[in-house]
């Protein structure tokens, strides 16, 4: 990516570097959460994760989320691509070293690793598309990743009471309002 692209608008308040930083947290949180142990399982499905682990549900200031993305972008250093590659290698190594532990995620909630990992794939898929759009490069998700992400988005919509509008939109019967999001 050209060096100047890192300062382009990324998503919302983020430039591309902050967006990539935020996205990289989908990898770093896997490794850091694997060093935790939850006392009980609070979240049993990936869609429940998205219903319960939101800034509004946890009382987190959205500005704090934006700042974490900016700080994560800075932490990627002079070679962000190599830093992301290292985070990926660490996350894969850490996942391969365990079975299915009960981990603690943001908000102190417990979730099984096998339930948490689809949320990370979802984040990487959606933000991968965001990054590609921001830097105007062609990017296609593998069909299995796209399918899993789309199914999870639909399940989140149903879980959060937005299933009917999403179904109507997907079948061409109605549009969704601007800025509509299931996450």
Q: For 78-132, what is the HEC assignment?
A: CCHHHHHHHHHHHHHHHHHCCCCCEEEEHHHEEEEHHHHHHHHHHHHHHHHHHHH
**Considering the domain boundaries, does residue 11 fall inside one?**
no
**Considering the domain boundaries, does residue 137 fall inside one?**
yes
Residue 101 confidence (pLDDT) above 80: yes
**Considering the domain boundaries, does residue 161 fall inside one?**
yes
**Considering the domain boundaries, does residue 12 fall inside one?**
no
**Considering the domain boundaries, does residue 101 fall inside one?**
yes
The whole-number pLDDT of residue 56 equals 80
Residue 3 confidence (pLDDT) above 90: no
Residue 140, domain extent: 26-171
E strand or H helix that includes residue 9: strand 9-11
**Considering the domain boundaries, does residue 53 fall inside one?**
yes
pTM of the predicted model, to two decimals?
0.94
Once rounded to an integer, what is the mean pLDDT over residues 19-24?
A: 98
**Considering the domain boundaries, does residue 21 fall inside one?**
no
Helices 16-33 and 62-75, packing angle to 10 deg: 90
How many structural domains are present in the chain?
1
* Mean model confidence pLDDT for the chain: 96
Residue 130 confidence (pLDDT) above 90: yes
**Considering the domain boundaries, does residue 155 fall inside one?**
yes
């Amino acid at each position: 990516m050209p060096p100047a692209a890192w300062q382009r608008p990324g998503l919302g308040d983020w430039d591309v570097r902050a967006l990539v930083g935020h996205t990289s947290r989908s990898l770093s949180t896997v490794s850091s959460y694997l060093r935790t142990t939850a006392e009980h399982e609070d979240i049993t499905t990936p869609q429940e994760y998205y219903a319960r682990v939101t800034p509004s549900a946890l009382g987190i200031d959205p500005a704090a989320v934006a700042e974490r993305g900016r700080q994560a972008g800075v932490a990627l250093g002079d070679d962000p691509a190599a830093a992301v590659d290292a985070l990926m290698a660490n996350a894969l190594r850490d996942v391969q070293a365990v079975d299915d532990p009960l981990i603690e995620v943001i908000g102190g909630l417990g979730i099984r690793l096998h339930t948490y990992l689809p949320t990370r794939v979802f984040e990487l898929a959606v933000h991968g598309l965001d990054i590609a759009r921001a830097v105007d490069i062609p990017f296609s998700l593998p069909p299995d990743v796209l399918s899993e992400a789309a199914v999870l988005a639909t399940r989140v919509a149903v879980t959060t009471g937005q299933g009917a509008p999403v179904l109507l939109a997907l079948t061409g019967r109605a549009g969704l309002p601007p800025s509509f999001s299931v996450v």
